[in-house]
Copies of this chain bind each other. A is one copy, B any other.
Amino acid sequence: MVNFESYTPTRVVFGKGTESQVGELIRAQGGTKVLVHFGGRSAKASGLLDRVLTALDQAGLPHVELGGVVPNPRLSKVREGIELARREGVDFLLAVGGGSVIDSSKAIGYGTGYQGDVWDFYSGKAKPAACLPVGCVLTISAAGSEMSNSSVITNEESWEKRGCNSDLCRPRFAVMNPELTYSLPAYQTASGCVDILSHTIERYFSGPETVEPTDSMAEGLLRTVLDAAPRAVRKPDDYEARAAIMWAGSLSHNGLTGCGRGGEGRVGDWSCHQLEHELSGMFDVTHGAGLAAVWGAWSRYVMDAAPARFARFARNVMGVADQGDDTKTALAGIAAFEDFLRSIHMPTNIHELGVDLTDEQIDELTWKCTFYGKRDIGSFKVLKAEDIKAVYRLAR
């Protein structure tokens, strides 16, 4: 086990009806004026936004609203939020939505008290020194932003998508009512589940080493989502399934499943995220579906770096019986995971995403993956440009 830090200060308020507590929660954090940030029509149509605003009114908290956050949240909206927050003297940001809304709120939090351009924090030009407090009412189980230290923003002037990580932006509280996810379409539910699984899987395959209790807990989280995902897809109002997915989603990305990993200094492999990142940049695919499309190819390509690790995954997560040797067991586990993906109508290759990659497109994706020739990716097996091309070819 390598040295690590774990810091998860977010107060989680989980369960039915908990959105009615937002007023008290903000008051407990010292908030006196709130910017309520949200996405599109669903928060309004469902009545959730009204319930939240009523709770703020009941707590005597003045508020302003800013909707219109889109998936892959935009810098222009962040700037609009910063201006609004300054003009209105807001001292608390309440995100009502999923990862995009929370990430946009975090960016507004960074920018409001900063003299320069908020993009500085995402381009790497500056490090945030402060962030307005952020709280959230979660409506989508997927990104894990409700407990994480990260925020990803897209600059639509340059079409760059960049992240900024800092403990300053970890939400002060996260209100999680699984019922709020009942209305998600099956495809979004399934994609969210793949995103959750992948947050733990990326960390699980940091390298070949065993780390307890982190491994056992990670395997438990994975089995939980593997079991609950088909149930939530089949029956959108299955409370136990929705609750299991929602809580697993937060625990999969708050750092818990990375504790003690990363012998080479990096926690998590993150190759699949990188491969998908470029894919969704070029073809606007849903993040979780994109991850599903590349995982099998990546796994088969890197598995020989440590078959025993994949064999453990096969046995402890996928419930595959030992096949006599690690490689065979590992391959059976990968196939079992693909069977799971099919069972929730997720793609297992890029063609099934609706994209038929040309060789030229693979070259371009690879060029971007390597940050224009400047880096390799991955840690379980380090992938150079030629490897990345090979994985895209296997996946198409």
Contact = CB atoms under 8 A, between A and B. Distances in A.
A14 B260 contact: yes
Given A217-B221, A220-B220, A243-B260, A15 B4 contact: yes
Given A212-B228, A213-B251, A3 B14 contact: yes
A148 to B, nearest CB: 15
A227 B212 contact: yes
Nearest to A251: B213
A198 to B, nearest CB: 16
A18 B3 contact: yes
Nearest to A1: B243
B1 A240 contact: yes
Interface string A315-348: 0000000000000000000000000000000000
Contacts of A216: 217, 219-221, 223-224
Nearest to A242: B1
A228 B363 CA distance: 48
Nearest to A18: B3
A131 B240 CA distance: 37
A371 interface: no
A44 interface: no
A245 to B, nearest CB: 9
A392 B200 CA distance: 44
Given A12-B6, A14-B6, A14-B260, A1 B220 contact: no
A127 interface: no
Contacts of A251: 213, 217
Contacts of A221: 213, 216-217
Contact of A259 (B2, B18, B239, B247): B247
A243 B259 CA distance: 11
Nearest to A244: B212
Listed residue (A1, A12, A18, A224) with the most chain B CB atoms within 10 angstroms of its CB: A1
A7 interface: yes
Nearest to A247: B213
A2 B247 CA distance: 12
A3 B243 CA distance: 10
A244 B1 contact: yes
A208 B240 CA distance: 15
Nearest to A219: B220
Contacts of A7: 11-12
Given A5-B12, A213-B248, A216-B221, 19 more contacts: A1-B240, A1-B243, A1-B247, A3-B16, A4-B14, A4-B15, A6-B11, A7-B12, A212-B224, A212-B228, A212-B248, A213-B220, A213-B244, A215-B220, A216-B223, A216-B224, A217-B220, A217-B221, A243-B260
Interface of A: 1-9, 11-18, 212-217, 219-221, 223-225, 227-228, 239-240, 243-244, 247-248, 251, 259-260
18 contacts: A1-B244, A1-B247, A2-B15, A3-B15, A3-B16, A3-B17, A4-B15, A5-B13, A5-B14, A212-B228, A212-B248, A213-B220, A213-B224, A213-B244, A213-B247, A215-B220, A217-B221, A219-B220
Among all A-B residue pairs, the 9 with the closest Cβ atoms:
A3-B15, A216-B220, A213-B224, A6-B12, A9-B9, A212-B224, A1-B243, A217-B217, A217-B220
